[in-house]
């Protein structure tokens, strides 16, 4: 399929296990100028987002190769339940290539299931109820759930089998949280804030374990975890953190960027949990010195934000294509921010293979 629309970094899909290399140093490359951009690195796409987008692109490419991109029966080449990732530009681009996005499986006609049209589950994961409905209707499901989110789902099932009650820190209504809680609604107790701990009531002999949404941060959950441990000293934590590596890395980078900037712009959609949190982390780093903003793209920039500003920090959420960041940089360059400083905190080399449903076809 000819490349068009947004360009996405491609994944290496030959390895069956993720790899991750770290360089625990801060590498700052500077081109000194009067007014400059301070660019966070890492930023943008994480491995789970890359994998989810590539999943839909792979299905579209296969449909085009087989002459089924535009079917005689009027059915699309692929359905995607909810936004594949929380970025409107990515969704619009894939929709322009032929993907049809639905909120619920009930929007997909029976004829599509009978024809074997692929139905992709988004990177945020789904509950067993959704999986059961798809199975009942005979849908050809391709599950693009991020493997790190899938890990939390498996933890829920394991701890429930072992007789635990699970306290889950997450955002109510977020697709990821809905899917995780849906694994065992009677045993998973969702809380958002430290103040929510008071609403929980467990007997001292209750086996308790703490899990969290992957797009939160260590800083964001610290107060809530401390309150949980104070009230329920016996609560356990999983062997490894549920917080996504990309979430932690991007927040660490934006903290340093904020220290060197007069204001910070985060590129990301309003419904992206990690993008919103990046803006909050940037604001915490700026303090009273300046303000942090979130935009979907360069069109939302307000020139008044940069009056009297010498340096603008820039980062982006884990579901944001880098060309959207480039658009912001270009706009700022036209406003006189011609210098460039890159703040690199860590090297990322995480890759996830395509979903099994697609690998089996190769």
DSSP letters of 126-195? --HHHHHHHHHTT-EEEE---HHHHHHHHHHHHHHHTT-EEEEE--TT-HHHHHHHTT-TTTEEEE-SGG
89-139 pLDDT, tens per residue? Answer: 999 999 999 999 999 999 999 999 999 999 999 999 999 999 999 999 999
Catalytic residue among 155, 165, 176, 220: 176
The mean pLDDT of the chain is 91
> CA-based diameter of the chain, in Å?
64
What is the SS3 assignment for 343?
strand
Report the pLDDT value the prediction gives residue 360, as an integer from 0 to 100.
Answer: 76
3-state secondary structure 89-100: HHHHHHHHCCCE
Band (361; pLDDT cuts 50, 70, 90) = low
Average pLDDT value for residue range 303-323: 97
Report the pLDDT value the prediction gives residue 218, as an integer from 0 to 100.
Answer: 83
Q: State yes or no: pLDDT of 15 exceeds 90.
A: no
Band (243; pLDDT cuts 50, 70, 90) = confident
Band (362; pLDDT cuts 50, 70, 90) = low
218-227 pLDDT, tens per residue? Answer: 888 999 999 9
How many whole angstroms separate alpha carbon 337 and alpha carbon 176? 38
Average pLDDT value for residue range 148-157: 97
Report the pLDDT value the prediction gives residue 18, as an integer from 0 to 100.
Answer: 39
203-212 pLDDT, tens per residue? Answer: 999 999 999 9
Average pLDDT value for residue range 161-178: 97
Reference 250, options 19, 39, 12, 25; nearest CA is 39
Token pair, residue 9, equals 């970094």
Average pLDDT value for residue range 20-40: 60
Whether 176 is a known active-site residue: answer yes
CB 265 within 8 A of CB 295: yes
Report the pLDDT value the prediction gives residue 217, as an integer from 0 to 100.
Answer: 83
């Amino acid at each position: 399929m000819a490349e068009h629309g947004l360009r996405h970094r491609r994944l290496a899909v030959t390895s069956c296990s993720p790899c991750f290399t770290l360089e625990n140093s801060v590498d700052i490359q500077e081109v000194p100028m009067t007014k400059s951009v301070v660019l966070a690195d890492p930023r943008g796409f994480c491995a789970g987002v890359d994998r989810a987008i590539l999943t839909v692109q792979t299905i579209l490419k296969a449909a085009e190769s087989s002459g089924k991109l535009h079917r005689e029966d009027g059915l699309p080449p692929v359905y995607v339940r909810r936004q594949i990732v929380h970025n409107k530009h990515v969704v619009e681009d894939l929709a322009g290539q032929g993907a049809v996005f639905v909120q619920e499986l009930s929007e997909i006609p029976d004829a599509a299931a009978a024809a074997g049209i692929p139905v992709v589950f988004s990177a945020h994961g789904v509950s067993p109820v959704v999986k059961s409905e798809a199975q009942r209707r005979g849908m050809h499901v391709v599950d693009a759930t991020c493997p790190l989110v899938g890990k939390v789902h498996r933890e829920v099932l394991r701890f429930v089998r072992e007789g635990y009650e699970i306290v889950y820190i997450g955002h109510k209504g977020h697709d990821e949280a809905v899917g995780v809680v849906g694994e065992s609604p009677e045993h998973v107790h969702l809380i958002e804030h430290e103040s929510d701990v008071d609403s929980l009531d467990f007997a001292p002999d209750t086996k308790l374990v703490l899990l969290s949404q992957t797009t939160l941060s260590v800083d964001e959950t610290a107060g809530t975890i401390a309150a949980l441990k104070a009230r329920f000293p016996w609560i356990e934590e999983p062997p490894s953190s549920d917080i996504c590596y990309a979430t932690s890395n991007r927040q660490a980078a934006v903290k340093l960027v904020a220290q060197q900037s007069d204001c910070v712009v985060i590129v990301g959609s309003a419904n992206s949990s990690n993008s919103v949190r990046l803006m909050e982390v940037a604001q915490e780093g700026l303090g009273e010195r300046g303000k942090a903003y979130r935009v979907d793209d360069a069109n939302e920039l307000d020139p008044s934000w940069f009056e009297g500003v010498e340096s603008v920090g820039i980062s982006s959420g884990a579901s944001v294509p880098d060309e959207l960041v480039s658009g912001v940089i270009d706009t700022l360059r036209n406003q006189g921010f011609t210098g460039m400083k890159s703040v690199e905190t860590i090297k990322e080399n995480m890759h996830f293979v395509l979903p099994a449903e697609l690998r089996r076809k190769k």
